[in-house]
Chain A
């Protein structure tokens, strides 16, 4: 779940009856853009890369590294589940 606190956009693992505040992650504008476009959907790494390339016009190699880093960090805080 995305929250805005003290000028920061952060992701926190929140269920209907629990909130895990041990793994809070702050998002910059790029990470936030990806979150807002992919939240609640099943997606592949390729789709995340495509999103970055389309929106920011960066190389596929750079987008791949950024998207993989984004996925890893959000997996670590339980915000993304791998199928």
Chain B
């Protein structure tokens, strides 16, 4: 009578943008390994909230439009021209976007659906800072992580 559906990405994110435009908080499940190691592919969820460009800070995780799609990554650099973003599970590539490309910022993360963590909590801020600081050796840490947690990460 009923079945679980995965909407096409374009439709899904059009809907997310509509909800955000109405000042709604939106909870979504994450797909992809570029958000590892803290957040997990197909398991972790985030709550998105509307945001203004002037509120955005370094290391905030945001949903932004990129090359015709939508990406959820962390701000790693802010310049007068825009933002540089990188996924926590990535060590080399970055994306560039402007303030108008940013749809929403993450306010809460659920590593597993039952465990909510605010991005203002000490543990999330510590994780964010330490993981950012470890960027030069992230490549090796991620390789180790994927080896150890292959089952969950892929």
Interface of A: prevailing SS: strand
Q: Which of A5-54 contact B (CB under 8 A)?
A: 5-6, 8, 10, 14, 17-22, 24-28, 30-31
Give the interface size bracket for A toward B. 20 to 34
Give the contacts of A49-80 with B (CB-CB under 8 A).
66, 69-70, 73-74
A-B Cβ contacts below 8 A, count: 63
The residues of A that contact B3 with a CB separation of less than 8 Å are 25-26
25 intermolecular pairs with C-beta atoms under 8 Å apart: A5-B7, A5-B15, A17-B23, A18-B25, A18-B27, A20-B27, A21-B12, A21-B26, A21-B27, A21-B28, A21-B29, A22-B27, A22-B45, A24-B5, A25-B4, A25-B5, A26-B3, A26-B4, A26-B5, A27-B1, A28-B2, A30-B1, A31-B1, A31-B2, A69-B1
